[in-house]
Amino acid sequence: MSLRKYLLVSILLILSSVGGLAIWSSYRASVYEVQELFDAQLSRSARLMLGMAVAEVRDGHIDQMQDIILQNKLRLDKLKDDDVVTSLESSDLGHYYELKLAFQVWDKHGNLILHSGLSKFEPLTQQEHGYSDSTIEGYPWRVFSMWSYDREYLVMAAERYDVRMELVEKIIQRLMLPFMLLMPVLAWLLWLIVGRGLQPIMRVAEDVKNRDLHNLTNIKDENAPAEIKPLVQAINRLFERVNESFDKEKRFTSDAAHELRTPLAALKTHAQLARSSRDEADRAHALMQVEVGVERASHVVEQLLTLARMQPDRLQEHWQSLDLHQLAVDVAAELAPQAATKNIDLAVDEVDAITMHGHPVMLRVLLRNLLDNAIRYSPRNGQVAVTFGCGDCCVSISDSGPGIAEADYEKVFERFYRGNVEESGCGIGLSIVKQVADMHGAFIKLGPSALGGLKVSVLFSEKI
């Protein structure tokens, strides 16, 4: 079901339910009020009839009064056979409802002295005081009974229940008729209003539908309703993330092409030399250079992939409590064979556990790149030291390499910047270190090392 139909059906169901509840409440209230009104009228009629009957008895005219009543009843009986009068309910002969009214007056000896012609020989009810319900000639009747003050005469005034219910039904019909007539009009108006209200969503959908595949600009939401703005903003954020992903992919492709062009060309050259060389020594040297080139290309690809995987918004979900000192010890142990090939003394300070909050894999990448650079650029028989300080929230890597000129401190964090060094590398390591540090809100400080080379300190702003 479409949102428009869902809203329309829901609103109509709610309105119908509320309208039905209101009509039901009006019905109950009408029944109560009609009962009260007719009961009051019934008791008043009984009192008037009792007063007239007592007066006629005292004057000795009670028989004459009964004759007059019966003559009028004969005229009313004609209404039963007159369809026109029945449909109109009134005429010169009287009102059709009069056939649904009755009364009796009894004396204290049980003699019926006055009646309307209905149930002439049986009391209208067995209750001699107040209101009661009775069944007469197959119809339910409402009866009011009362004695005269001297308890000489008992009057019973009765009225058929359908008189009351017909009035209630007419009231309800008049309440329901406008509601039923207005429902189609209301449904049509709601259809138009809901459709107009959903137009901003349709415009957004049309905008996205008609966009070019590469068009990831934000959707304008200045004129969007408050309820639609979160949707538009969410779509815009999605566009931004997709655009960032595309940019990262393009950057990765560009970086890979930039960095792999030289080693691949060198690999090709050395492979051709190895194939064409007839001297075993030259062939062995060429093959060794091929191996070195493959290693360098693998290192470049690994570093590029590490950069491509860095997405701070996703990585932060996997942060956890960790021991920075133990992490440094583990990374140093992994790189110990690399240091041993150059007879480099790789040392890590012995300190207590340094507990902090961060991403263990990314922090391992940071430490590995710093140590790898330190080992790579240190001379044979050199030194690399890992120390901790500044309230145990800082890790420093010092080496005995050539160091970096102070003027180049800011440039070394740029991609592919290698400075004036002869050692092989791709120039991405410190760029990765900078990204991981930024991800953790850490500050990187470069300076001269006591060992004669470079000292890189990473100061973390948060510790647990």
Could you tell me which residues come within 8 angstroms of residue 322 by beta carbon, excluding any fewer than 6 positions away? 355, 356, 357, 358, 360, 363
**What b/e string do you get for 422-443 counting C-beta neighbours within 10 Å, with b at 16 or more?**
eeebbbbbbbbbbbbbebbebe
* Statement: 317-459 belongs to CATH 3.30.870.10: no
d(CA 182, CA 407): 83
**2-16, 91-105, 316-330: which has the minimum mean pLDDT?**
91-105
Q: What spatial distance separates the first Cα and last Cα of the chain, rounded to whole Å?
A: 52
pTM of the predicted model as reported, rounded to 2 decimal places: 0.45
Cβ atoms of 221 and 201 within 8 Å: the answer is no
Q: Model confidence at 426, in pLDDT bands (50, 70, 90)?
A: very low
Cβ atoms of 51 and 105 within 8 Å: the answer is no
- Start-end of CATH 1.10.287 domains in the chain: 229-309
- 423 has a pLDDT exceeding 50: no
Place of tokens 């056939």: 99
Cβ atoms of 195 and 4 within 8 Å: the answer is yes
- Start-end of CATH 3.30.565.10 domains in the chain: 317-459
Instruction: Match domain 229-309 to its CATH number in 1.10.150, 3.40.50, 1.10.287, 2.120.10.
Output: 1.10.287
**What b/e string do you get for 99-127 counting C-beta neighbours within 10 Å, with b at 16 or more?**
bbbbbbbbeeeeebbbbbbbbeeebbbee
Could you tell me which residues come within 8 angstroms of residue 415 by beta carbon, excluding any fewer than 6 positions away? 255, 427, 428, 431
**HEC assignment per residue over 156-188:** EEEEEHHHHHHHHHHHHHHHHHHHHHHHHHHHH
d(CA 397, CA 407): 20
Which tens digit of pLDDT belongs to each residue from 209-265?
A: 777 777 777 777 667 777 777 888 888 888 888 887 777 677 666 656 655 665 677
Question: Residue 132 corresponds to which amino acid?
Answer: S
Which tens digit of pLDDT belongs to each residue from 268-292?
A: 777 887 788 778 887 787 788 777 7
